[in-house]
A and B are shown apart, each in its own frame.
Chain A
Amino acid sequence: MTPGVTRVKVSELIEKAGFGAVTLPDAEREIKGAYAGDLLSWVMGRAKADDAWITIMSNINVVAVASLADVACVVLAEDVELDAEIKKTALEKGINIISSGKPIYETALEIGRYL
């Protein structure tokens, strides 16, 4: 483990932060950081691999961006809901999606407690 880097598994984050599980095909994946943003190209330019990506975007492109940017999980803030079809695609592509009832800022603070 790199010094100064704390890692938490997606499954552990859900339990500790009281987040909800939307799709969890890879629950044991480790989160190494976090990034918040809704502009998809911005996220691809700035988010790092293994980040937890906090967003309120809920269209199908979120799954593609999460997959290509290789984030550890998507965190949907404000209990944003996903269509069944998008959930299906996320499961197929191995994308973890979890949900938080709080706004982006509070969600980020909560995640920050465990990183």
Chain B
Amino acid sequence: MSDALNFHFDVDGENFTSAGHASVKVKKILRELGLDPETIRKVSIAMYEGEINMVIHAGGGEADVSVDDKGVTIVLKDSGPGIADIEKAMEEGFSTAQENIRSLGFGAGMGLPNMKRYSDEMNIESEVGKGTTITMKVYF
């Protein structure tokens, strides 16, 4: 793989039950590319958590995934409310999700921590009222 392979997805913010659609597609693509199962698992979980966050908090957004000879890069971009205190948001157990989200099994305050856990590098750019862009890299 000398050239990077790029994939773009729109994440629908209206339909919570279809959240994870992009991550499941990416998982399938990475399998077809023959990547090792642990890399696929890390990318899938990190991206799914990000996708869920975009649906819960930001009304959807866009996901771009690229694969090159070094690893997988995931860029999640939304125009949501932004994260006021990133350090706080990174704490396990801290959540601003509503009760209806919690009843579905989400909103445990583990999303961002899991994204960090499963990516080798993670960068968050966020501005309150403007939106959030998260870049995650998983190396081979």
**A93 contacts B24, CB within 8 Å?**
yes
**B48 contacts A44, CB within 8 Å?**
yes
Give the size category of B's interface with A: 20 to 34
**A40 contacts B23, CB within 8 Å?**
no
Question: Within the assembled complex, what's the spacing in Å between the Cα atoms of A107 and B109?
Answer: 27
**B106 contacts A49, CB within 8 Å?**
no
- A11-35 CB mask vs B (1 if < 8 Å, else 0) is 0000000000000000000000000
Q: In chain B between 28 and 63, which residues have their CB closer than 8 angstroms to a CB of chain A? A: 37-38, 40-41, 44-45, 48-49, 52
Take A39-B105, A44-B49, A68-B48 as given contacts and tell me if A61 and B41 are in contact as well, using a CB distance cutoff of 8 Å. no
Could you tell me how many residues of chain A have their Cβ less than 8 Å away from some Cβ of chain B? 20
In chain B, what residue has the closest Cβ to A39?
A: B108
**B27 contacts A68, CB within 8 Å?**
yes
Which secondary structure dominates chain A's binding surface? helix
Name A's B-contacting residues (CB within 8 A).
38-42, 44-45, 49, 57, 59-62, 64-65, 67-70, 93
Nearest 6 Cβ contacts at the A-B interface: A41-B110, A64-B20, A68-B44, A40-B105, A39-B108, A45-B114
Name B's A-contacting residues (CB within 8 A).
17, 19-20, 23-24, 27, 37-38, 40-41, 44-45, 48-49, 52, 104-106, 108-111, 113-114, 117
